[in-house]
Amino acid sequence: MRFNLRRVFVLCLIAFCTTLVILSFPRSEGPYVDSDIEKDPQFLQAAVPEGRHFNFDQLNTKKGPPRGRVYPNGAGEQLTFQKQPNPPSLIKNTDYGDPFDFTPPHDQQLLRRIYEAIKRIDFDELIPKECTEKTTLKQYWLQTEGKQVSADDSWERFYSHIGSCDMYRDETVIDELLRDLNKFPIKTVHIMDGGTQVKLVFTFENGKQAVFKPMRFGRDYESDINHFYFSDFERHQAEIATFHLDKILGFRRAVPTVGRIVNITSDLYDKAEKKLKKTFFVSPAKNKCFVGRCDYYCDTTHAICGLPDLKEGSLQVFLPDEGSVPRKHNRSPYRRTYSKKNQLAEWQTNMDYCTNQVKAKGVYAHGRKLLDLIDLHIMDYLIGNQDRHHYESFNVFGKIPSYAIHLDNGRAFGRTDFDDHDILLPLKQCCLIRPRTLQTLLNYYSEPRSLTRALHDSMFKDPVHPILAFKHYPALERRLHDVIKAIDGCLQKVSASAMVMNHFHNSAVAEDQAEEESKINILAWSIDGSRVKVHSKLCSIFKKNYPTLTCHIPFAFFIFPILVQMCLFPQRIVCIAKYGFTIFCH
């Protein structure tokens, strides 16, 4: 037996060494490699369509290489990867043309039909009842705990004004905060952990912080049509534009964001932490670059470079620390599969999904959550954001129901030629909308001051304007038209009173079920975003009493018990189980 084991070991070693030797020999290239194509005129001529001729003189090295690569199909030169431009606000030529040189696709007959359907809705009565318990953190803590909230700088004034109905009300507080984000001296810079793409955390001299997303492409860049929504590049201008769109739509649930131009040397490198500083380098074009550390696109191929050292980006204020102002992390029922193979989720194929699944869930069967979700998806459709898997809400105002925070919009405004109608399915399936949201959309659709004019005027105040390429304006108006058509479609199926409301109530679901389900919130976040449904022992215990509960763990570890993987594998996983106890594992 010992002899056989030795023999097997020796044979395996010989096979391994032989494989290494074979791999070390240079390979002869196949017949379709570019170098052979360029050497074989017969192959080139065979590849040229009949009736067309290929100029072989272009391949003569004595005349020098042609500009760009020449292809036999006559496709022309191969374009280079888009360069990282200078901030548009620094360009002297500010003549960008007329941004409104297009005709919005407004349908007056459609508008009259909707107004006829909702003529019995009293908006003046309903809108004030949207959120009756209006308070701010400053007022709430003073009333419930007798605690005073400091307001020494614009960050603290913003935090103290965070409300139970919306993120902010007083725009003077927000304007002051945006000015400080744009002008305050930077003290330290470090990498923001846990992101899929490069993001930095700026700590200012007052000790407050903000997230910096650097500009990677110019305003005209559009997403690659072959990129999945979860692998698309993030765009800093999308965060800025979404903040302004959220404001003019009257939601006021997006985190304040502003543009800022930084010097890669004096603002970033000189103040960077050691881990970040190691990623800086000078490119062959003598531009100063850095890579950062993240899951996607953090390598020298996708480095962030200045011209030579200026870089534009978006700065988004940090929300208050969760230790003092806790937040809930909610998994969206309209989350996509995030899979390359199974690309359609159940809600994308089952038009009864809202009725049978969402409205039957305790957390959405009563209150404002379902209306919040529809507001969020209307905004996502307007900005073209497919990447909405979770949403957060404040958990600090006691029994006052909180709103969905409109956070993480970096993959919006990717394409102007494509509208993903699946984003609107929550509206089309549930046929619910808030009176304030409906009134605002109809006003922008019918009044002389269109949605894009209001957005343009709001974004003009940002220091790095123009924020969006003007080609996004017709796309916004086109998508607004689609939203209005979806509303009209619902009004033809249900009455206006059954559609327009501030709070949804499903009489078939007990209200205490929503309270019980809210006690359980099991989420798993993995570094690569891959997840599979599992029924581990822990999840099975909860699912006996709560059949709507779903559990997710990273695909790579699905064969291990959930507790073992939490303790042994140092992945960036956060498993939260709230049922009288809480587990955090990093």
Q: What is the pLDDT of residues 328-375, one digit of tens each?
A: 999 999 999 998 889 999 999 999 999 999 999 989 999 999 999 999
Percentage of the residues of the chain whose pLDDT score is greater than 90: 58
Domain boundary among 505, 534, 558: 505
C-alpha angle 504-506-511 in degrees, rounded to nearest 5: 95
Check: CB of residue 219 under 8 Å from CB of residue 472.
Answer: no
Report yes or no on whether pTM surpasses 0.85. Answer: no
Q: Are residues 355 and 408 in the same domain?
A: yes
Check: CB of residue 359 under 8 Å from CB of residue 504.
Answer: yes
| Max mean pLDDT range (1-15, 360-374, 529-543) | 360-374
- pLDDT (0 to 100) of residue 571: 37
Residue 213 assigned as binding residue: yes
Residue 85 lies in a domain: no
Q: Are residues 340 and 450 in the same domain?
A: yes
Quick one: which H or E segment has residue 499? Answer: helix 496-499
Q: What pLDDT digit, counting tens, does each position of 470-479 carry?
A: 999 999 999 9
Residue 310 assigned as binding residue: no
Give 231's pLDDT tier (boundaries 50, 70, 90): confident
Task: Specify the amino acid at residue 573.
Answer: I
Give 34's pLDDT tier (boundaries 50, 70, 90): very low
- pLDDT (0 to 100) of residue 95: 64
Residue 73 lies in a domain: no
Please choose, from the candidates 222, 225, 214, 229, the residue with its C-alpha nearest in 3D space to the C-alpha of residue 529. Answer: 229
Residue 101 lies in a domain: no
The residues pairing with 202 across neighbouring beta strands, listed in sequence order, are 189, 210
In 452-586, the DSSP E strands lie at: 504-505, 531-533, 552-554
Catalytic one among 246, 267, 387, 462?
387
Residue 323 lies in a domain: no
Interatomic CA distance for residues 381 and 419, integer angstroms? 8
Q: Are residues 290 and 353 in the same domain?
A: no
Residue 325 lies in a domain: no
No. of H helices and E strands in the chain? Answer: 22, 15
Residue 234 assigned as binding residue: yes
Q: Are residues 155 and 228 in the same domain?
A: yes
In the β-sheet with 186-191, what is the strand arrangement from edge to edge?
186-191, 200-204, 209-214, 310-317, 257-263
Q: Are residues 455 and 355 in the same domain?
A: yes
Q: Are residues 572 and 491 in the same domain?
A: no
The parent domain of residue 20 ranges over 2-63
Residue 237 lies in a domain: yes
Give 555's pLDDT tier (boundaries 50, 70, 90): very low
Q: Are residues 292 and 345 in the same domain?
A: no
In the numeric block, which tokens belong to residue 392?
A: 């957060």
**Dihedral sign computed on CA atoms, order 111, 117, 119, 124:** negative
Q: Are residues 227 and 261 in the same domain?
A: yes
Domain boundary among 438, 473, 505: 505
Q: Are residues 568 and 491 in the same domain?
A: no
Check: CB of residue 506 under 8 Å from CB of residue 366.
Answer: yes
Interatomic CA distance for residues 45 and 392, integer angstroms? 60
Residue 256 lies in a domain: yes
Q: What pLDDT digit, counting tens, does each position of 232-280 carry?
A: 889 999 999 999 999 999 999 999 999 999 999 999 999 999 999 999 9
User: What does the mean pLDDT of the chain come to?
Assistant: 81
Give 395's pLDDT tier (boundaries 50, 70, 90): very high
Domain boundary among 505, 527, 550: 505
Look at the chain and report how many structural domains it folds into: 4
- pLDDT (0 to 100) of residue 518: 52
309 in catalytic set: no
Q: Are residues 498 and 563 in the same domain?
A: no
pLDDT at 532 over 60: no
Mean pLDDT of 464-492: 96
The secondary structure of residue 80, as a DSSP letter, is P
Residue 319 assigned as binding residue: yes
Residue 392 assigned as binding residue: yes
Check: CB of residue 84 under 8 Å from CB of residue 307.
Answer: yes
Task: Judge if the upstream peptide bond of residue 308 is cis by omega within 30 degrees of 0.
Answer: yes
Residue 38 assigned as binding residue: no
% helix / strand / coil in the chain, to the nearest 5? 40, 10, 50
Q: Are residues 398 and 499 in the same domain?
A: yes
Q: Are residues 294 and 169 in the same domain?
A: yes
pLDDT at 523 over 70: no
| Between 52 and 339, the higher pLDDT residue | 339
Total residues belonging to the chain: 586
Residue 529 lies in a domain: yes
Residue 408 assigned as binding residue: yes
